[in-house]
Amino acid sequence: MHPSIRNRIEDKSRSTSTHSKHCYGEFKNVLLTDEEYQKLGEKFSDRDSRIDDLSYYIASKGAKYKDHYKTVLAWARNDAKKVQARPTEPERKILT
């Protein structure tokens, strides 16, 4: 085996062993590293609920995602955009 290929394989196995993913969510189908799980907890007080939402979605739709951590972040970002797009209470009264 070529030395550069061997080095890449060794680097990859080292990085995966130090960043092993654990199963989370209602159906234990959301894969996150300890660091990712901790970061989600720092960003969101409802971390486990967000992970469960992804878990339910994966289980019910059979969806596959390359990166569950980034998926939770993307969903949170989309949720924030939806909240910003909603008209405020006085605006709703004017519209109706």
| 22-52 pLDDT, tens digit each | 999 999 999 999 999 999 999 999 999 999 9
Which of 5 and 27 is assigned the larger pLDDT?
27
- Reply yes or no on whether the pLDDT at 78 is more than 60: yes
Angle at 38 between CA 32 and CA 41, to 5 degrees: 110
Least confident piece of the model among 4-18, 30-44, 66-80: 4-18
Local confidence band at 96 (pLDDT 50, 70, 90 cut-offs)? low
pLDDT of residue 93: 61
Return d(Cα 15, Cα 11) in angstroms, integer. Answer: 6
- Reply yes or no on whether the pLDDT at 6 is more than 60: no
The closest alpha carbon to 76, from 38, 37, 49, belongs to 49
Supply the pTM of this predicted model. 0.72
